């Protein structure tokens, strides 16, 4: 088991929510709903938010929209120190721009995908991308959390590459979100001394916490935050009740995974809040069909 990164240098220990992005019927972001949902997630116990992650439809949100929304979150009273916005894009200048903005705003760090358009690039090439990002941002406050989601991005981050980046930039490359869903990969990452490793699913959370992980970054926090945060507490306190708590969150996770996750989570949030605009997604995503939504809501919202 690795020695976890010290809480003073990496304080986001618990459940982080990659918060959903609401769109109006005209396709524009509904800022009031965005802020309301973010505040609710913090109230429900999430230690932080990950704006513009995969679940937030980041690939469909423009640069100016991201900058505006991040500023609105901070203006609303959510501490920047609890924000870990996604800033990784295929264009290095765009990634630098978003990363500089988030760092200057005081965010805890940034979640950075590898450049994902060009496939079959070498570890040396990916190292050069991250090294150039760090050099061009040129800010000692910068903290990078790498984002490994090869099944979506098509480009992954190998264990040797992650180790190399962390050793080259031990203070800056602070952590990684591992959304591979592969415990062997997460376990190998957890063996890297001082690296904060977040599994991207609560299905690995109890094992990850026991191995030194600070928590997890999970899409289902958008609809199940209280139960997830209770699970973290019970596991940390080594209570027998953690088994039942884990089974409860596991059932929700598996039910959501039966559907396209973003439309499914948005449909559940629409049902829970009574706000129909939560169902809206930006093309090319499609909303969940009514029959699927009804069955999922009956199972999850009454679980």
**pLDDT value at residue 66:** 98
**Sign of CA pseudo-dihedral 253, 257, 258, 260:** positive
Residues written for the chain: 303
For residues 68-96, give the mean pLDDT. Answer: 98
- Is pLDDT of 89 > 80? yes
pLDDT tens digits along 248-297: 999 999 999 999 999 999 999 999 999 999 999 999 999 999 999 999 99
Chain mean position to CA 81: 15
How much is the pTM?
0.95
Fold category of 14-224 in CATH: TIM Barrel (3.20.20)
14-17/215-217 β-pairing: parallel
Residue 1 pLDDT exceeds 80:
no
**Owner of token pair 């997604």:** 281
Asked whether the CA dihedral 206, 232, 224, 302 is positive or negative, the reply is: positive
pLDDT on residue 127: 98
Beta bridge partners of 16: 48, 217
- Please write the tens of the pLDDT for every residue from 178-221: 999 999 999 999 999 999 999 999 999 999 999 999 999 999 99
Exposure string for 202-235, b = 16+ CB within 10 A, e = fewer:
bbbbbebbebbbbbbbbbbbbbbbebbbbbbebb
**Are 298 and 271 spatial neighbours (Cβ–Cβ below 8 Å)?**
no
* Cα gap 114→130, rounded to integer Å: 8
The alpha carbon of 277 is separated from its chain's Cα centroid by a whole number of angstroms, namely: 22
- In three-state form (DSSP H/G/I as H, E/B as E, the rest C), the secondary structure along 44-105 is CCCCEECCCCCCCCHHHCCHHHHHHHHHHHHHCCCCHHHECCECCCCCHHHHHHHHHHHHHH
The residues assigned a catalytic role are 54, 117, 147, 177
| Domain ranges, ordered by start, for the chain | 14-224
In sequence order, the 6+-apart residues with CB closer than 8 A to the CB of 51 are 18, 19, 38, 66, 69, 70, 73, 83, 85, 86
Token pair listed for 240: 């027998």
pLDDT tens-digit readout, 142-185: 999 999 999 999 999 999 999 999 999 999 999 999 999 999 99
The 10 Å CB-count burial string (b at 16+, else e) for 289-301 is: eeebbeebbeebe
Q: What's the whole-number mean pLDDT along residues 230-238?
A: 94
Q: Could you give the CA distance from residue 188 to residue 84 in angstroms, rounded to a whole number? A: 23
Tokens of 20: 């959903």
Q: What is the pLDDT of residue 2?
A: 47
Query: Quick one: pLDDT at residue 8?
Result: 56
Three-state DSSP class for residue 209: helix
The whole-angstrom separation of Cα 289 and Cα 266 is 12
């Amino acid at each position: 088991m690795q020695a976890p990164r010290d809480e003073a240098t990496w304080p986001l220990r618990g459940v982080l929510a990659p918060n959903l992005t609401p769109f109006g019927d005209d396709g524009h972001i509904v800022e009031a709903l965005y802020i309301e949902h973010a505040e609710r997630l913090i109230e429900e116990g999430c230690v932080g938010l990950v704006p513009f992650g995969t679940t937030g439809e980041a690939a469909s949100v423009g640069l100016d929209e991201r900058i505006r929304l991040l500023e609105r979150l901070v203006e609303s009273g959510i501490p920047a120190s609890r924000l870990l916005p996604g800033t990784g894009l295929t264009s290095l200048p765009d990634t630098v721009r978003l990363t500089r903005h988030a760092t200057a705003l005081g965010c805890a760090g940034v979640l950075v995908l590898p450049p994902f358009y060009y496939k079959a690039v070498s570890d040396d090439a990916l190292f050069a991308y991250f090294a150039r990002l760090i050099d061009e941002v040129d800010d000692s406050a910068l903290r990078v959390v790498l984002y490994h989601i090869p099944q979506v991005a098509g480009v992954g981050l190998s264990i040797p590459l992650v180790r190399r980046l962390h050793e080259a930039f031990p203070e800056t490359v602070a952590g990684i979100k591992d959304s591979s869903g592969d415990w062997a990969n997460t376990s190998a990452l957890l063996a890297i001394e001082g690296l904060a490793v977040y599994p991207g699913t609560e299905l690995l959370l109890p094992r990850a916490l026991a191995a030194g992980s600070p928590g997890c970054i999970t899409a289902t926090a958008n609809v199940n935050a209280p139960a997830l945060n209770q699970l973290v507490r019970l596991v940390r306190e080594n209570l027998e009740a953690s088994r039942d708590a884990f089974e409860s969150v596991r059932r929700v996770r598996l039910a959501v995974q039966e559907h396209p996750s973003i439309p499914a989570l948005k449909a559940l949030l629409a049902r829970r809040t009574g706000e129909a605009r939560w169902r809206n997604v930006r093309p090319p995503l499609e909303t969940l069909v009514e029959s699927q939504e009804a069955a999922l809501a009956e199972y999850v919202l009454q679980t």
